[in-house]
Amino acid sequence: MALKKNGFIPSSAPEELKKVLVAVASVWGDTIEDMEEFHVFPLKGAMTNEVFQINWPTNHGDLHQKVLVRVYGKGVEVFFNRDDEIRTFECMSELGQGPRLLGRFSDGRIEEFIHARTLSAADLRVPEISSLIGAKLREFNNLDMPGPKNVLLWERLRTWLSQAKRFCSPSTAKEFGLDGLEEEISILEKELTQGYQEIGFCHNDLQYGNIMMDEETRVITLIDYEYASYNPVAYDLANHFCEMAANYHSETPHMLDYSIYPDLEERRRFISAYLVSSGNEYSDAKVEQLLSDAEKYTLANHLFWGLWGIISGHLNKIDFNYLEYARQRFQQYWLTKPLHLSS
Q: What is the CATH number of the domain that holds 11?
A: 3.30.200
Residue 181 sits in which domain range? 117-341
One domain for residues 210 and 108: no
Minimal CA–CA distance to 72: which of 47, 105, 107, 103? 107
pLDDT mean over 182-190 = 97
Average pLDDT in the chain: 91
Q: Tell me the pLDDT tens digit for each residue of 308-325.
A: 999 999 988 888 999 999
One domain for residues 194 and 138: yes
Residue 8: predicted pLDDT? 63
* pLDDT tops 90 at residue 246: yes
- Assign 187 to helix, strand or coil: helix
Minimal CA–CA distance to 40: which of 53, 22, 58? 53
One domain for residues 242 and 261: yes
Write down the pTM of the prediction. 0.90
One domain for residues 221 and 236: yes
Q: Tell me the pLDDT tens digit for each residue of 271-299.
A: 999 999 977 778 999 999 999 999 999 99
> Number of folded domains in the chain?
2
329 neighbors 300 (Cβ within 8 angstroms):
no
Burial of 65 (0-12, 13-18, 19+ CB in 10 A): middle
The string of DSSP letters for 126-155 reads: SHHHHHHHHHHHHHHHT---SS-----HHH
The amino acid occupying position 21 is L
The dihedral built from the CA positions of residue 92, 97, 101 and 106, taken in this order, carries a sign that is: negative
